[in-house]
Amino acid sequence: MIRKVLVVDDDKPVREALAQTLELADYDVQSAGSFIEAKDHIERDFAGVILSDIRMPGRDGFHLLNHTQKLDDELPVILLTGEGDIPMAVRAMGEGAFDFLEKPCAPEALTSVLERALKTRALVLENRRLKTQLETGDPAARMLFGTSELAEELRQRVRSVARTRAEVLVTGPPGAGVSKVAEVIHFLSPGAPGPFVKHSSASLDATALETAFQAAAGGNLFLDEISTLPTDMQYAVLERIEQDAEARLIAGSTADLENAVAAGNFHAELYYRLDVMRVNVPPLADRPEDIPVLFRHYVAQAAEQAGLEAREITPDHLAALMAQDWPGNARSLMSAAMRFVLGMPDATTEAAELGLTEQMARVERSLLIAALGRQNGRASAAAKALKLPRKTFYDKLARYGLRPDDYRR
């Protein structure tokens, strides 16, 4: 979460003391001694909050508040008031201030208000980012990359479930992009103009549940790793969605919920309610043909983040990538892309040093596995999908020690 705080106070000792207190509490602090200094730090989409004294010579805290409101009326401004300034602070609240604190204020009170303001700001910026993505084209095609049949099936499924108002369960192996798929469902849903709120299931309690649903009113609430939801909260979530909820629930899980139900660790009724609309994100190992386009995208992203030129990606390097199993899925491919951009050694670099025959063998094996997985272990269907004669297909299976029965679900 963002942790940036701009401290504005003309009294240097007070300003430095505040900055030191916040830095010790692990905030990223910027300081300014006047309105003129402060406004140079502030821009629309400023990734933080402002903590400012009201009384300053020349242009005071009200000038700063009005300037900020014109620039970005959702940027939280917290005002510090001296003794006797409470009526001014109340007036400031009416003009759009997030909150006010009386000086001197206890560190706990200060950090409590800052945490609320930063959470609010993070949600605003996230929803702006999502709205921008929504307005620039088809989110399913733009965010769920891949040319494979599985990738297109995933996009079609996402489009289908997004149009409903029913709860959705998004499953997939770790690192496959469960959270990203939940975002795309939000983009395409009737609640897209509303907020998209993410919350960890493990940390959910009764108060947080109500707060989350209220924050997501008119939009979608994403509960990540629903299998970690405390037992008592599983009942509470079920009751909440059986009411006329303000927000549609999207649940994500990288764990096998069916096994959790069988073991008595997950509420069966909640599982069956969520499982009506399920989206399963396939692992990279089942769609190696998507790896080149994904890697190119992640390299471009990583180069932009690092402020570097994207390096040329050779066919040998792509072949080495396709030859790997990628148990960490998209997340590990992203890490490989960043290492590639930074010129750091990587397992893929080592693979690229293999001879062409060995690299092609690895790619061929991964394509055979992917085809068997897509066809539920049906060898004849897999051979047809790969446009191979059956004898040639079986010969290749034997060469790589692959058994169709291992890929039946």
Q: Which CATH architecture fits 285-407?
A: Orthogonal Bundle (1.10)
Identify which of 388, 359, 356 has the alpha carbon closest to the alpha carbon of residue 372: 388
Identify which of 296, 280, 361 has the alpha carbon closest to the alpha carbon of residue 147: 296
Neighbours of 335 (CB within 10 A): 15
> How does DSSP classify residue 311?
P
Distance CA 249, CA 242 (A): 11
Distance CA 180, CA 191 (A): 17
> Would you call 177 helix, strand, or coil by DSSP?
coil
The overall pTM is greater than 0.75: no
Long-range residue pairs from 389-393, CB within 8 A, at least 24 positions apart, any chain: 393/368
Domain spanning 4-127: CATH superfamily: Response regulator (3.40.50.2300)
| Amino acid at site 93 | M
Residue 326 φ/ψ, nearest 5 degrees: 50, 65
For position 209, what pLDDT does the model report?
93
**Segment among 25-34, 99-108, 127-136, 359-368 with least mean pLDDT:** 127-136
Q: What does the domain layout of the chain look like in residue ranges?
A: 4-127, 139-282, 285-407
Q: Which CATH architecture fits 139-282?
A: 3-Layer(aba) Sandwich (3.40)
- pLDDT grade, residue 344 (50/70/90)? confident
- pLDDT grade, residue 347 (50/70/90)? low
Distance CA 359, CA 348 (A): 11
Q: Do 4-127 and 285-407 fold alike per CATH?
A: no
Q: What is the mean pLDDT of residues 293-315?
A: 81
Angle between helices 231-242 and 206-215 (to 10 degrees): 40
Burial 234-263 (b: 16+ CB within 10 A, else e): bebbeebbeeeebbbbbbbbbeebeebbee
Strands 168-171 and 278-280: parallel
> How does DSSP classify residue 253?
E
